Amino acid sequence: MLKKQPKKTKRDIEKIAKNIKLIILDVDGVMTDGSIILDNKGNEFKVFHVRDGHGVKMAQGAGITVAIITGRNSKVVERRAKELGITEVYQGIFKKSAVYESLLEKYKCKDEDVAFMGDDIVDVELLKRAGLTAVPNDADERVKKLALFVSTKKGGRGAVREFIELILESSGLLESVSGESFD
């Protein structure tokens, strides 16, 4: 049985968010809507939302490292990560905690410095460890209970961007990386 995350206020979440140095994202169901389209020629197709990608670029512009840890292997993910300048890409990983540990060591982070967004039971370990955890609105219901932040958006439909904007806004960096004032 998955243990429910203690209820945090928006202010609690913002306090945690302002110290994030590393954002780790799952792919299927987070950066995409979870659909995997295969054709008869063996090609795989995934749909990524451009605003999520822009959110990644804003986080990088603010000096936050973005990493991907996903259970599947896909050339499409490799390509999208390259387009976004994400160099920390780990595919075919079902035991995500080992990669998580190596990222903590490499970037000299503690759990509280890390934000993680996942959507399914393979993400439970990291949802229990990372300082700031999030899921898309359409994540597995049991997994939602573990997250500090549940996006109002679905996976692949702006959930990543919403999560990143929360982090950037909490640390006072949103306007500087977007070039816009939202008042």
**Per-run averaged pLDDT (10 residues), the chain, 183 residues:** 63 87 98 94 93 96 97 95 98 96 98 98 96 97 95 97 95 79 53
Beta strands 114-117 and 88-90, pairing class: unpaired
- pLDDT of 179 reads 67
Question: pTM of this prediction?
Answer: 0.92
Instruction: Of 19, 66, 9, give the one whose Cα is nearest residue 168.
Output: 19
Residue 23 phi, psi dihedral angles, 5° rounding? -115, 125
The predicted structure's pLDDT at residue 182: 53
Q: Classify each residue of 48-87 as buried b or exposed e, where b means 16 or more C-beta atoms within 10 Å of its C-beta.
A: bbebbbbbbbbbbebebbbbbbbbbebebbeebbeebebe
Whether the CB-CB separation of 67 and 117 falls below 8 Å is answered with: no
Paired sense of beta strands 37-38 and 88-90, if any: unpaired
Provide the Cα torsion 93, 86, 147, 14; round to 10°: 160
Amino acid at 163: F
pLDDT at 174: 86
Please give the domain boundaries of the chain with CATH numbers for all domains.
Answer: 17-174 (3.40.50.1000)
| Amino acid letter, 60 | Q
Is the CB of residue 29 less than 8 Å from the CB of residue 123? no
